[in-house]
Each structure stands twice: as structure tokens, then as C-alpha cells.
Chain A
Amino acid sequence: AQSVTQPDIHITVSEGASLELRCNYSYGATPYLFWYVQSPGQGLQLLLKYFSGDTLVQGIKGFEAEFKRSQSSFNLRKPSVHWSDAAEYFCAVGTPVNNAGNMLTFGGGTRLMVKP
């Protein structure tokens, strides 16, 4: 069965500093990987996704993520954090085409706080 681990429950960074959120997955085949963001009281918004090809993927809001098969990781990065980036971030792995819809498995989330 697939699983996702986000080792950091909380992270605090200063505004303008760089950010890296860690994600490790367990999956038997080539994974489909996603990062979602959730602001307080809101649903989840897709930041970026990886299916195949270039292992460095660009997303919205200046985020990027790098797929490293050898490390089973899909870490999210941003070179300069803005106060509006404070939110909870979820990594997910999925199988998008099967007979039961898109079976995404989510990690436990990382709550990002941004210091002025």
C-alpha cells in the first residue's frame, strides 16, 4: 500500500528566507505526486504535480518540487517566503487511473508559520 510521510509537523521561517518542506513516499510503481496547500478555513489548493519527465516541477505562487526516485522524496521548495505563504501543506501520492477514481494518499501535513 502507498504511504506518505511528512516528517516536519511545524516549521517556522522568517519572511524572505528560503523554504524546504520534506515529503517521503512509499509506492511500488512510478508515483504520481502532488503538493496541496490549505489556508485556515479553506479547502485544499493544488500547488504542483509530477507525473513523468523533468524531475523538477514548477508550481503556482513561486513553489517548485524535485522528485528524487533514489530517495523516494518529493520535497517542496520556495526561494523566498512571503507572509501569505503561512498555511498547511500536504504531500500526496496517487494512482490516477484505476477502477476506483483517483486514490490519493495524503501525508499528515506540515504547518508553516512565517515570522515578520
Chain B
Amino acid sequence: ETGVTQTPRHLVMGMTNKKSLKCEQHLGHNAMYWYKQSAKKPLELMFVYNFKEQTENNSVPSRFSPECPNSSHLFLHLHTLQPEDSALYLCASSQGWRQWNTGELFFGEGSRLTVL
């Protein structure tokens, strides 16, 4: 398996549920990202991990909790979400900043989240 894989592809949850999104990359990269894509809004960067360290938290509410156990895996833990959190959540990876870097991000296919 190659590229960036996200699971689940679709998730429906209530506001009191706890769920997690998973991302795995097989590209040998050391930086991973979570983006949120809502209807009619530009792609919003949520979190960045570089060599497993969180280097960016773009003022994301605490009901979203990222976890990066190693450079190949990234999770987004979801708790007490709101209906406005319904969106496509995209994971991406890239070469880390300590490596020679071509600059581009490689994206997964996304997890479509619906909060009821």
C-alpha cells in the first residue's frame, strides 16, 4: 500500500460521542498535517506534526485532540463535537523540515464527518 490512507472514509456521530480519525502514510515522510474542508470555506490548517512534535495548532478547539505516535501515523480524536464541525477532514504528509524538502503536501482522500 502506498500514499496516504485515511480511515474511516465516512463517520456519523452524535454530539456526545467520542470517535477518532486515523491517518497513515507510507511515503517515508516526517511531517503530517490535519486540514478541515468545509463547504464554502477555504482549506483550514488545523495541526502540524514534524518528527512527531506538534509544531502548529491553528487555534483549534480542544474538542479536537491530535495524536502522532510516530512519523507514519496521525490521529484526530473527536469529543463533544458540534454540528458545525461537520466537514471533510484531510490528512497530508510531507518531508520534514530537517530534510531536503520539495515543499509539496501529499493528501489522503479524507474522512467525511457528519455531526448530528
Contacts and interface: CB of A to CB of B under 8 A. Distances in A.
Contact of B33 (A51, A96, A98, A101): A101
Contacts of A94: 103
Contact of B101 (A34, A97, A106): A97
A71 interface: no
The residue in B31, B42, B48, B56 that gathers the most chain A C-beta atoms within 10 A of its C-beta is: B42
B66 interface: no
Interface string A35-72: 01000011111100101000000000000000000000
Nearest to B3: A43
B105 interface: yes
Given A34-B104, A44-B107, A51-B103, A100 B97 contact: yes
Interface of A: 32, 34, 36, 41-46, 49, 51, 90, 94, 96-104, 106-109
Interface of B: 4, 6, 31, 33, 41-43, 45, 48-50, 55-56, 90, 92, 94, 96-97, 101-110, 112
Given A34-B104, A45-B107, A106-B43, 15 more contacts: A34-B103, A41-B109, A42-B110, A43-B4, A43-B109, A44-B90, A49-B103, A49-B104, A100-B55, A100-B56, A101-B96, A101-B97, A102-B105, A103-B56, A108-B41
